[in-house]
Amino acid sequence: MILAVGPTALGTATFPRLSKLAAEGDWTTWRSHLRSYALIGLAVTIPLTALLVRFSTPIVRLLFERGAFTAANTEIVSRVQSFAFLQIPLAVVFSLLVKAISSRQANYCCCALQ
């Protein structure tokens, strides 16, 4: 859920500004804003990711370890979840890059050129 909502919301929030700058042809400011958004996204998501990885086992234990879900299962699931959490910073940056490409109207299909 974090990977679906967070990066998408950030990309959607930054898109109008990037589109306006692209339409004006202000590429210096466009690059500056894109860089700033990416750095802010990384500054927020890297510590968040570190916390989520650190507390992955307690999160899994709290949510799933009841009845048939054993401590061994918790350990396996928390490892997998930790690796999934590592995608968060990259997902934020890639979401911004996709919106940046769209703001430049550079997301056409190569098939349309033929």
Smallest CA-to-CA distance from 82 within 58, 100, 98, 64 is with 58
Q: Which domain holds residue 100?
A: 2-104
pLDDT tens digits, one per residue of 26-60: 889 989 999 999 999 999 999 999 999 999 999 99
Would residue 83 count as lying in a domain? yes
| 46-96: pLDDT as tens digits | 999 999 999 999 999 888 887 778 888 889 999 999 999 999 999 999 989
Task: Answer for the pair 105, 18: CB distance below 8 angstroms, yes or no.
Answer: no
Determine, yes or no, domain membership for 13.
yes
The answer as to whether 97 is a domain residue is yes
As for how many domains the chain has, the answer is 1
The answer to whether position 81 is within a domain reads yes
CB proximity list for 105: less than 8 A, separation 6 or greater? 22
Instruction: Kindly report the pTM of this predicted structure.
Output: 0.77
